[in-house]
C-alpha cells in the first residue's frame, strides 16, 4: 500500500467544526499492531498484504468462514438488535428508543474493524463495503459538534456524560472506534473514519491531557487504542494521553464500586503490580496497553511489569486451554490455582485479549513463550467459542459440562447462541479472524520469523531485498511443515522457525538433506543465501500428551487432560455407549500398554474432526450414597474404549456433557 495523505478536519453536517491535528503522512500499511520507528521492539509485524492464508489449511478455513458467515451475521444483528438504530437516533434520524447495553456502540466499531481487515485483503462483497460506507457516514452524522460520539449518553443520559467513569465505558467505546479507524486507514478501506476518530481523540486530549481532568476508564482499552492511533498518525499527544491514563491508574480514582478497586485494576500503580486481578478482559486489555506504551516510550518499568503480570496469569491463573477468568460473579481472575473446570467463566473476549497481549509481548521481546501462549489461546480458548457454521457463539467457555446441567441464561454455556444481549464476543471474534494472517510472522533486518504454522505465504523486505516463503502443512493435525523460498536476495538472511514448547523432538531437512539445527530460545535459526526453490521441511513430533495440573489446582487433582500438538482434547457424551454417564468414566492408564496409553488416529467418519485420540477407560461404580464413612472405594466396571475430540469442536454434533479433565482410575 502506498503512502497516503489523510486529513482529519471533516465534521458532521451543520456542526461546529473542531480543528484537529494537522494532516499527516500515513506511515505505510500495517496490521493491528505496528510499533513506531523509534520503538524498543525486537520484532516487526508484516503488512496485511505480506501474509496470506490458504483456505486449504485450518486457519485459512477459519478466516474464510469468518468472511462468509460470521461477519455478515454480525452486520445483520447490529441492525436487528438496534445498535445501528441507536446511532440513527443519535443523528436525529429516528425517534426509536435506545436498545441494548449502554456500550452498544463498541460492537459497531469492532464489526467495522473486522470489515476493514477483510476488505483490505480480499475483494470482499458489495454488501460489506456498503455497510462500511453507510456506517462511517452515520457515525459522522451522529458525532456531536465538539467531537463526542456515544449514542447512549447522547440519547439517554446526556447529563451523565463523563460523570461515571467506573461504569460508563465511554473511553472503552472510543478506543474501539479508534482501532476501527486505524484498520480502515491502514487498509485504505475508509480514510473518512479516521477523521471521525481524530475529532473524538482530540476532544479526549483537550479534556484529559496533561493539565486536564484526572480520570481513568473503568474498562481499560483506550490505552492500547491511543497508542495505535499515535503509531498511525505520529501525533504525540495521543501517546502522551495513553501514558497519562496508565500513570493515573492505581490511585483509586474509580472508587470502590461493587467489587472493589482491584476489579478495575485501580488498586495499585501499574508499574508496581505483581498479580493480575479483577475482570479478566479489562486486565488483559490493560496489559496490552502497558506493552504498547512501554515500547513506544522506552519505559522498561512498564514492560517489566507487563511480563511480571503475564507470568502470574499464565503460571497460576490460566486454564489448560489458554482461557482466563475463573469467576462468574465478577468475570474475574480467582485466587492462585483457583481453576474449576465446570465453573470456568473463561470469557471469549478474554481469550481474544490474551492473543492480542501475547502478540504485543512477542513483538516487544522476541521471546517464544509469547508465541506459544498466543497459539494455545487461539486454537483452544478462542476457537471453541465459534460453531462450525460460524454463526453461533459461546460467551463463557467451561472445561466441563455436567449431566443434568440446569444452568439457564445466556452465560450457561450448554450450547452456542446466535447472539447475546451483551454481544461483545461475536464482533470481537470477527475482528481477530479477519486479521488472523497478520499474526503468522514477523521480520527484522536479518531475516524472517515464522510464529504460527499454516498453509499460506509470507513475504518481507530483509537483507536489502524482497523474500517470499510459501508454507504447506496440515498443522495442527500433522506436524510436518514444508516451507519453500520462492523469491529471495543474494545476501544471506535468517529464517527462524518456532519450535513449540509442547514439542520434544523434531527434524529439519533442507532440499531433502538432514540439518543439525538446535533450537535456541524456542527458535531454529537457519542462515544462508537462499536460492529460489530451496525447500525446508520441519517435522514436529506430535505424540499424545497426558497433562496434569499443579497439585494446588484442587478441582482437577487426580485427573489428566489429553493434548496433541497445540490442541487440547475432551470427552463428549456423544462418543459414549448408551447408558454410560460421562461422570462415571475413568481413564485407565494400564491399557493398552503403559508405554502407549493413548493413540492419535485420523478419522473420516466424524464430520470436521480429522484426528481423534483413542484411549482406554473404565466405568466406575461408586454406590448410590452421596456421602459414606471412611474412604470410598470405587469398583471398576467393564473396560471402555474412549474417543477424545478437539476441545474447540465440542458441542457441534449434539448438546450434552463434556469434560477436558478426566479422572484417572485408581490402581491397587
Catalytic residues: 331, 424
Residues 6+ apart with CB under 8 A from 516: none
Among the listed residues 101, 107, 98, the one whose alpha carbon sits nearest the alpha carbon of residue 77: 107
> Which alpha helices (DSSP H) does 101-235 contain, by range?
105-121, 126-142, 151-155, 170-187, 191-208, 222-233
Instruction: Let me know: does 195 contact 144? Beta carbons within 8 Å.
Output: no
Distance CA(1)–CA(148), nearest Å, equals 31
Let me know: does 34 contact 51? Beta carbons within 8 Å.
Answer: no
- How far apart (Å, rounded) are the C-alpha atoms in residues 451 and 461? 17
Give yes or no for a contact between 241 and 274, defined as CB atoms under 8 angstroms apart. no
Nearest Cα neighbor of 219 from 103, 326, 333 is 103
Residue owning grid cell 479483577: 278
- Measured distance CA(255)–CA(235) in Å, rounded: 32
C-alpha cell at 367: 521471546
Please give the angle made by the CA atoms of 571, 577 and 583, to the nearest 5 degrees.
Answer: 50
What does the block give as the cell for 621? 461404580
Cα gap 245→228, rounded to integer Å: 15
**CB within 8 Å of 553: residues ≥ 6 apart:** 337, 339
Nearest one of 34, 28, 501, 447 to 224, comparing CA atoms: 34
- Comparing CA positions, the residue from 82, 107, 243 lying closest to residue 179 is 107
241 closest CA partner among 215, 273, 267: 215
Query: Of how many residues is the chain composed?
Result: 668
Torsion 155-157-161-167 (CA) sign: negative
Comparing C-alpha atoms, which of 209, 238, 205 is closest to residue 224? 238
Is the distance from CB of 567 to CB of 503 less than 8 angstroms? no
Provide the pairing of β-strand 598-602 with 585-587: unpaired
Amino acid at each position: 500500500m502506498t503512502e497516503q495523505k489523510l486529513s482529519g478536519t471533516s465534521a458532521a453536517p451543520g456542526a461546529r467544526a473542531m480543528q484537529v491535528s494537522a494532516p499527516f503522512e500515513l506511515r505505510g500499511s500495517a496490521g493491528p499492531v505496528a510499533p513506531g520507528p523509534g520503538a524498543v521492539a525486537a520484532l516487526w509485524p508484516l503488512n496485511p498484504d505480506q501474509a496470506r492464508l490458504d483456505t486449504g489449511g485450518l486457519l485459512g478455513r477459519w478466516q474464510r468462514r469468518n468472511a462468509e458467515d460470521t461477519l455478515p451475521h454480525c452486520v445483520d444483528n447490529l441492525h436487528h438488535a438496534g445498535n445501528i438504530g441507536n446511532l440513527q437516533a443519535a443523528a436525529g434520524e429516528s425517534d426509536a428508543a435506545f436498545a441494548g447495553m449502554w456500550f452498544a456502540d463498541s460492537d459497531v466499531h469492532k464489526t467495522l474493524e473486522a470489515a476493514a481487515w477483510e476488505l483490505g485483503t480480499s475483494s470482499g462483497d458489495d454488501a460489506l463495503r456498503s455497510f462500511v460506507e453507510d456506517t462511517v457516514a452515520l457515525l459522522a452524522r451522529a458525532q456531536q459538534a465538539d467531537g463526542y460520539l456515544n449514542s447512549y449518553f447522547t440519547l439517554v443520559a446526556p447529563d451523565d456524560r463523563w460523570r461515571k467513569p467506573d461504569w460508563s465505558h465511554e473511553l472503552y467505546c472510543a478506543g474501539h472506534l479508534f482501532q476501527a479507524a486505524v484498520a480502515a486507514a491502514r487498509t485504505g478501506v475508509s480514510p473518512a473514519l479516521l477523521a471521525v476518530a481524530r475529532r473524538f481523540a482530540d476532544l479526549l486530549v483537550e479534556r484529559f491531557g496533561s493539565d486536564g481532568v484526572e480520570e481513568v476508564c473503568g474498562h481499560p482499552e483506550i490505552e492500547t487504542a491511543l497508542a495505535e492511533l499515535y503509531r498511525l498518525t505520529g501525533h504525540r499527544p495521543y501517546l502522551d494521553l495513553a501514558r497519562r491514563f496508565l500513570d493515573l491508574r492505581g490511585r483509586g480514582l474509580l472508587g470502590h464500586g461493587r467489587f472493589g478497586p482491584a476489579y478495575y485494576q485501580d488498586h495499585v500503580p501499574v508499574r508496581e503490580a505483581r498479580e493480575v486481578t479483577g475482570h479478566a478482559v479489562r486486565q488483559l486489555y490493560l496489559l496490552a496497553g502497558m506493552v504498547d506504551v512501554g515500547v513506544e516510550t522506552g519505559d522498561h518499568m512498564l514492560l517489566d511489569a507487563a511480563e511480571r503480570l503475564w507470568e502470574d496469569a499464565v503460571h497460576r491463573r490460566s486454564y489448560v486451554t489458554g482461557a482466563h477468568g475463573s469467576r462468574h460473579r465478577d468475570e474475574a481472575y480467582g485466587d492462585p490455582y483457583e481453576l474449576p473446570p465446570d465453573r470456568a467463566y473463561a470469557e471469549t473476549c478474554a481469550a481474544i485479549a490474551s492473543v492480542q497481549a501475547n502478540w504485543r509481548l512477542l513483538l516487544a521481546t522476541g521471546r517464544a513463550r509469547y508465541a506459544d501462549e498466543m497459539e494455545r489461546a487461539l486454537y483452544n480458548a478462542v476457537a471453541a467459542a465459534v460453531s462450525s457454521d460460524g454463526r453461533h457463539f459461546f460467551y463463557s467457555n467451561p472445561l466441563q459440562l455436567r449431566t443434568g446441567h440446569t444452568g439457564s441464561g445466556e452465560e450457561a454455556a450448554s450450547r452456542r447462541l446466535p447472539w447475546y444481549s451483551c454481544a461483545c464476543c461475536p464482533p470481537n471474534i470477527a475482528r481477530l479472524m479477519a486479521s488472523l494472517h497478520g499474526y503468522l510472522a514477523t521480520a527484522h533486518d536479518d531475516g524472517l520469523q515464522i510464529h504460527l504454522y499454516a498453509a499460506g505465504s509470507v513475504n518481507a523486505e530483509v537483507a536489502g531485498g524482497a523474500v517470499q516463503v510459501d508454507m504447506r502443512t496440515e498443522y495442527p493435525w500433522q506436524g510436518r511443515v514444508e516451507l519453500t523460498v520462492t523469491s529471495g536476495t543474494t545476501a544471506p538472511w535468517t529464517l527462524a522457525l518456532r519450535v513449540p514448547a509442547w514439542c520434544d523432538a523434531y527434524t529439519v531437512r533442507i532440499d531433502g538433506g538432514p540439518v543439525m539445527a538446535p533450537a535456541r530460545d524456542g527458535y531454529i535459526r537457519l542462515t544462508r543465501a537462499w536460492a529460489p526453490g530451496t525447500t525446508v521441511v520441519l517435522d514436529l513430533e506430535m505424540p499424545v500428551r497426558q497433562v496434569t495440573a499443579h497439585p494446588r489446582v484442587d478441582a482437577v487433582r487426580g485427573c489428566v487432560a489429553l493434548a496433541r500438538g497445540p490442541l487440547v482434547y475432551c470427552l463428549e457424551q456423544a462418543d459414549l455407549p448408551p447408558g454410560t454417564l460421562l461422570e462415571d468414566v475413568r481413564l485407565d492408564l494400564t491399557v493398552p500398554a503403559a508405554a502407549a496409553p493413548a493413540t492419535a488416529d485420523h478419522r473420516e467418519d466424524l464430520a470436521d474432526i480429522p484426528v481423534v485420540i483413542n484411549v482406554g477407560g473404565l466405568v466406575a461404580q461408586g454406590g448410590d450414597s452421596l456421602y459414606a464413612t471412611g474412604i470410598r472405594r470405587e469398583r471398576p466396571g467393564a473396560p471402555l474404549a474412549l474417543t477424545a475430540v478437539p476441545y474447540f469442536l465440542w458441542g457441534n454434533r449434539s448438546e450434552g456433557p463434556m469434560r477436558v479433565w478426566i479422572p484417572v482410575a485408581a490402581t491397587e
